[in-house]
Amino acid sequence: MADPTVPGTEPETVPGTDPDHLLEPPRPDVEVSEGVEAAAQAEDTSVHGVPEVPPMPRPVFIARVVIGAALAFAALYAPYYFQEDMNKVLAQALYLAVAAMGLNLLTGFNGQVSIGHGAFFGVGAFTTAILMVDHGWMFEPTILVSALLTGLFGLLVGFPALRVRGLYLALVTLGLAVAFPAVAKRFVHGSGGVALVRPPRSEFGSLIDGVDDDQWKYAVCLVAVVLLFWAARNLVQSRTGRAMVAVRDQEIAATTVGVNLAATKVWTFGLSAAYAGVAGSLSVMVEGFADATNPIIYFQRSIEFLVAMTIGGAATILGPLVGALLVVLLRRNTSDLIEGKEVLSPALFGAALIAIVYVLPDGVVGGVKRLLARLGRRETSQRAQVGAPNT
Amino acid sequence: MTRTRRFRLLSAVLILGLFASACSSRDDDDDTSTGGDGGGEGGGEESSIDTSNCVTDPTAEIEGDTIKLVSSYPQSGLTAAFAEIASGWQSYFDMVNQEGGVEIAGKSYQLEWETKDDEYNAAETVSNIQEMLGSEGDQAFATFSVVGTANNLAIRDDLNEECVPSLFAATGSPAWGNPDYPWLIGSTLSPYTLEGQVFADLLKDQAPDAKVAMLVQDDDFGKAYEDGFRQAIEGTDIEVVKVEKYATGASEVSAQITSLASSGANAFFDGATLLACPAALQSAAAANWQRDFTWVSSTCISKTLMGIAGADAADVYSISNIKDPQDPQWDDDEGMQLYRDTVGANFPDTDTENGIVAYGWTQAAVFVEALRNAEAPTRLAVMESVHNIDVGDDVGLLAPGAGVTTGPEDPYMGERLNLVQYGFEGPDARNHFNVVGDTYDFEGQTADLTPEDLVTG
């Protein structure tokens, strides 16, 4: 499985000159570390927000439990508080978060840039839609098939991706996203002769009495987000996760300590694609169709994933979720901000994104972490305590 | 280890909480999954429309005194040429409202409308209509003048299930005659297969061994042209030598035209719409394609699109059943003056000489007639009424002899039509289409002249 030619062909990478670094997401938490282990250690820290080794102070622990419970309650209560249209928006944010998390595993944690995840998303969406329309499947099982299929597709793309890196990898994956609608148009025979497949709306109905359809869709998306983010979190903290980060930061060093470069990269690609595929499946439920009528729609999706990951905070666990919520809510709120000047809404959206990235170059989650770290430092110095050392 | 355990506990709580909260209910209406038995079995007597599977009750009377219509059509970007249809119908509705509204069964109703831009993208149409109608289909009375074949096909399942009238779809697809979808009806835009029929007749008369090259959109809109024309020339010496397709909504077709021009065809069926239509004529001229006959889609005869092609559109044929506002012979026509004044007052920026505005105006006029004839202010009664239209050519801007008739078995409007030819007199002249020959009357024949799978497929 090891592919010695790839690292072998790579000259010594000088940070800053390697094309990889041009597209790498900012990682302010990670200090420029010489050794692989140090890098992995530092990354670990950034994942948890608090260091692993010293025991957590009791107030912090309680605060975390309280905040966590409040957020969980908010997430569960939201579909009852909001009306139908807002629930749809939230469900959109949730499936976007799943795709952004997929991209985060690949780009944020493993350093492989992809502008092609829209294609995986599309494969997932059409898998679900076609299974339902042509083969009479229920919605829920199609998610698994989508995940498997897009995962395989991701592995296939992952192999050639071993040979190209950085900007070139971005270009290759971009081609994927741009080519997808044309390919779909060729093989999909949707209603009206265009590449639009719509399962009957009743197929997405709520399976629980007393839960409205929109609440049900939100709940399904929420369950997917919880499960997949949990899985991602566990993965990133595992040996494999540390290997992924090591590959991102120092390929050569990673191989010297025994990380299987090719396997790590290819499997990450596959897993990441599977996340995007699940998001695609969920999108069929939320939007009601799989659509490739617009030739650049999956390119736009890819950018959306990238934006959600970046403004939320790359290489963090909550980042993609926060980013997805921000993207979807910003788009919704900028679209009717100026009455009669809807043309301006993309500009407003863009300006808001620029503002966010300018103020929080490491994403919202990264920014919050910096803020907490600063507060923590002040507190410790004020109390003159020997508290938890915060990076 | 404690971390993992805590997280497991949290997720267990999450999932439990999810199920627990599922048992309470939001303040709004009850669940929709069992809402299907509200259907109007009582309203089914003698109706041509089966209402037994309706999710909503189509025999419920309109509450209040407004009839709300929703529409989705391209309004921006390269597909905006069709947006002007709406200034026509909105002006007419405004006029009717000012005159006191539409009277149905003794009560007057004001017309109200909401529209959204879909950029001619079927997926956007789905979202737009869903958003405006609400998931139960109760936020508006009906849809009106939704543009595009694929767009209307994409929304018709939902509308049919909800029994929401989908009125005057601004497309000439023969699929609007599908008896499985009684809640959808087309407009006075003639069925596309009739265009093929008229063109075939013209060629049979003047060039019985013509070789035809076709440009069509790569979807069911284009399929209707291609299959319709092929059926129309069956048994003749006319031959289709080449068919090229372009992606739905695209506006660049020069590659296709180069290929068609080299096919040796002496007749060109330009079945494109929007900007692709004039672009095809321009490319054909640029490629110096020598041909004797050119046909353009009836969706393309507006001033906007023909104006783009200019001299390259000289002498092209098409069909129409509307008075061309650019034609000076209608300047003193009463209907035309009313149209000019009303649209001019409502939309000062709209060019009333644009035939597409006149088309929109006429749809509203025919619809208002149907509304007045409805027996009750219900969806079912209105739908039955639009299936029983019989209006003369004095309604809207229908051309002389082009009155509209529909029946329970024949939902097609626009079956009386004229062969028209574009007379180009100069870039600044009032270039318009001239009627050639007598009015065609295909009343009740569209289904017979159309390949069956175009209707039911």
* Residue-wise pLDDT tens digits, A236-271: 999 999 999 999 999 999 999 999 999 999 999 999
Spatial CA neighbour of B417 closest among B432, B400, B433, B405? B400
Beta bridge partners of B240: B212
Residue A26 is classified by DSSP as P
Between B7-11, B129-133, B431-435, the lowest mean confidence (pLDDT) is in B7-11
Inter-chain CB proximity A219 and B127 less than 8 Å: no
**Rounded CA separation A222/B357 (Å):** 47
- Helix, strand or coil for residue B376? coil
Taking CA atoms, what residue in B is nearest to A202? B33
**Rounded CA separation B190/B200 (Å):** 16
Domain contains A2: no
**Rounded CA separation B155/B137 (Å):** 12
Spatial CA neighbour of A163 closest among A266, A259, A260? A266
Confidence check: pLDDT of A391 > 70: no
Side-chain half-sphere of A114: how many Cα atoms within 13 Å?
39
Alpha helices in B66-208 (DSSP H): 84-98, 122-133, 149-162, 192-206
Confidence check: pLDDT of B112 > 60: yes
Inter-chain CB proximity B123 and A72 less than 8 Å: no
Between A289-293, B228-232, B276-280, B384-388, the lowest mean confidence (pLDDT) is in A289-293
Locus of tokens 């044929």: B317
Mean pLDDT of chain B: 88
Across B271-424, the runs of DSSP E, i.e. the strands, are 293-296, 317-320, 390-391, 404-405, 416-423
Sequential DSSP letters for B152-189: HHHHHHHHHHHT--EEEEBS--GGGG-TT-TTEEE-SS
Distances from the Cα of A365 to the Cα of A70, B320, B363, angstroms: 18, 61, 55
| Number of domain units in chain A | 1
Taking CA atoms, what residue in B is nearest to A194? B219
**Rounded CA separation B298/B160 (Å):** 27
**How much is the average pLDDT of A369-390?**
67
Our CA-based measurement puts residue A195 at a distance from the nearest CA of chain B, in whole angstroms, of: 9
State the pLDDT at residue A382. Answer: 62
Between A337-351, B125-139, B437-451, the lowest mean confidence (pLDDT) is in A337-351
Inter-chain CB proximity B22 and A208 less than 8 Å: yes
A129 to chain B: which residues are within 8 Å by CB? none
CA B446 to the chain's CA centroid = 16
- Helix, strand or coil for residue A290? strand
Our CA-based measurement puts residue A377 at a distance from the nearest CA of chain B, in whole angstroms, of: 24
Confidence check: pLDDT of A25 > 90: no
Question: Which helix H or strand E contains B243, and what residues bound it?
Answer: strand B239-246
Domain contains A325: yes
**How much is the average pLDDT of B105-114?**
94
* Residue B136 or A216, more confident: A216
CA A20 to the chain's CA centroid = 19
Residue A340 is classified by DSSP as T
Our CA-based measurement puts residue A193 at a distance from the nearest CA of chain B, in whole angstroms, of: 4
Question: Which helix H or strand E contains B113, and what residues bound it?
Answer: strand B107-117
| Residue A349, amino acid | F
Interior CA angle at A66 toward A63 and A72, to 5°?
Answer: 135
The answer to whether residues A80 and A138 touch, using CB atoms and an 8 Å cutoff, is no
CATH number of A218's domain: 1.10.3470
Domain contains A259: yes
Confidence check: pLDDT of A379 > 70: no
Inter-chain CB proximity A191 and B154 less than 8 Å: yes
CB nearest to B122's CB, from A185, A192, A226: A192
Our CA-based measurement puts residue B151 at a distance from the nearest CA of chain A, in whole angstroms, of: 7
Inter-chain CB proximity B31 and A191 less than 8 Å: no
Spatial CA neighbour of B364 closest among B119, B97, B60? B97
B134 to chain A: which residues are within 8 Å by CB? 84
Based on C-alpha coordinates, what's the Rg of chain B?
Answer: 24
Q: How many residues does chain B have?
A: 457
**Rounded CA separation A42/B206 (Å):** 83
Inter-chain CB proximity B150 and A76 less than 8 Å: no
CB nearest to A192's CB, from B130, B154, B158: B154
Inter-chain CB proximity B122 and A212 less than 8 Å: no
- Helix, strand or coil for residue A63? helix
**Rounded CA separation B253/B268 (Å):** 14
Instruction: Output the CA torsion sign for A358, A363, A368, A369.
Output: negative
**Rounded CA separation A94/A144 (Å):** 18
Locus of tokens 């597909």: B79
Domain contains A300: yes
Inter-chain CB proximity B76 and A343 less than 8 Å: yes
**The whole model's pTM is what?**
0.78
Inter-chain CB proximity B157 and A196 less than 8 Å: no
CB nearest to B32's CB, from A193, A212, A343: A212
B103: tokens are 């009277």
**How much is the average pLDDT of B88-115?**
95
For the segment A308-326, what is each residue's pLDDT rounded down to a tens digit? Answer: 999 999 999 999 999 999 9
A75 to chain B: which residues are within 8 Å by CB? 14
Between A117-131, A181-195, B396-410, the lowest mean confidence (pLDDT) is in A181-195
Inter-chain CB proximity A287 and B123 less than 8 Å: yes
B272: tokens are 């494109």
- Alpha carbon dihedral B229, B232, B238, B239, in 10-degree steps, equals 40
Q: How many residues does chain A have?
A: 391
Q: Which of B9, B18, B180 to mutate to test the interface with A (most CBs of A within 10 A)?
A: B18
Inter-chain CB proximity A212 and B26 less than 8 Å: yes
- Alpha carbon dihedral B21, B22, B23, B28, in 10-degree steps, equals 100
For the segment A107-156, what is each residue's pLDDT rounded down to a tens digit? Answer: 999 999 999 999 999 999 999 999 999 999 999 999 999 999 999 999 99
Between chain A and chain B, the number of residue pairs with CB atoms below 8 A apart is 120
The answer to whether residues A71 and A208 touch, using CB atoms and an 8 Å cutoff, is no
State the pLDDT at residue B47. Answer: 66
CB nearest to A194's CB, from B7, B150, B157: B150
State the pLDDT at residue A93. Answer: 96
Taking CA atoms, what residue in B is nearest to A219? B18
For the segment B57-78, what is each residue's pLDDT rounded down to a tens digit? Answer: 898 899 899 999 999 999 987 7
**Cβ partners under 8 Å of residue A183, min gap 6:** none
pLDDT band (50, 70, 90) for residue A339: low
* Other Cβ atoms within 10 Å of B363 Cβ, number: 24
Domain contains A265: yes
Q: Which of B248, B454, B456 to mutate to test the interface with A (most CBs of A within 10 A)?
A: B248
For the segment A68-122, what is each residue's pLDDT rounded down to a tens digit? Answer: 999 999 999 999 999 888 999 999 999 999 999 999 999 999 999 999 999 999 9
CB nearest to B123's CB, from A68, A73, A196: A196
B10 to chain A: which residues are within 8 Å by CB? 68, 72
* Residue A366 or A388, more confident: A366
B66: tokens are 């407004």
State the pLDDT at residue B103. Answer: 94
* Other Cβ atoms within 10 Å of A374 Cβ, number: 11
B24 to chain A: which residues are within 8 Å by CB? 80, 210
State the pLDDT at residue A185. Answer: 84
Confidence check: pLDDT of A16 > 50: no
A1: tokens are 């499985």
* Other Cβ atoms within 10 Å of B259 Cβ, number: 14
- Alpha carbon dihedral A51, A54, A57, A58, in 10-degree steps, equals 110
pLDDT band (50, 70, 90) for residue A20: very low
**Rounded CA separation B399/B390 (Å):** 15
**Rounded CA separation B20/A363 (Å):** 35
**Rounded CA separation B227/B222 (Å):** 9
**How much is the average pLDDT of A185-207?**
84
A56 to chain B: which residues are within 8 Å by CB? none
Cβ-in-10-Å burial (0-12, 13-18, 19+) of B8 comes to exposed
A83 to chain B: which residues are within 8 Å by CB? 28
**How much is the average pLDDT of B342-357?**
93
- Alpha carbon dihedral A48, A53, A55, A59, in 10-degree steps, equals -30
CB nearest to A194's CB, from B127, B135, B248: B248
Inter-chain CB proximity A291 and B23 less than 8 Å: no
**Rounded CA separation A18/A31 (Å):** 18
Instruction: Output the CA torsion sign for A22, A23, A29, A30.
Output: negative
CB nearest to A230's CB, from B11, B31, B161: B11
Cβ-in-10-Å burial (0-12, 13-18, 19+) of B428 comes to exposed
* Other Cβ atoms within 10 Å of A355 Cβ, number: 10
- Alpha carbon dihedral A340, A341, A346, A347, in 10-degree steps, equals -160
Spatial CA neighbour of B173 closest among A189, A192, A291, A198? A192
Inter-chain CB proximity A76 and B18 less than 8 Å: yes
A192-224 as b/e: b if 16+ CB within 10 A: bbbbbbbbebeebbbeeeebbbbbbbbbbbbeb
CB nearest to A80's CB, from B15, B24, B32: B24
CA B56 to the chain's CA centroid = 25
**How much is the average pLDDT of B147-162?**
91
- Helix, strand or coil for residue A314? coil
Inter-chain CB proximity B149 and A192 less than 8 Å: yes
Domain contains A18: no
| Residue A233, amino acid | R
Domain contains A91: yes
Taking CA atoms, what residue in A is nearest to B133? A85
pLDDT band (50, 70, 90) for residue A383: low
Domain contains A10: no
State the pLDDT at residue B41. Answer: 38
CB nearest to A84's CB, from B33, B135, B161: B135
Dihedrals φ, ψ of A294, to 5°? -95, 120
Dihedrals φ, ψ of A2, to 5°? -65, 140
Cβ-in-10-Å burial (0-12, 13-18, 19+) of B381 comes to buried
Our CA-based measurement puts residue B115 at a distance from the nearest CA of chain A, in whole angstroms, of: 13
For the segment B263-286, what is each residue's pLDDT rounded down to a tens digit? Answer: 999 999 999 999 999 999 999 999
ipTM tops the 0.90 cut: no
Confidence check: pLDDT of A216 > 60: yes
Q: Which domain holds residue A192?
A: 58-382
**Cβ partners under 8 Å of residue B160, min gap 6:** B180, B181, B182, B183, B184
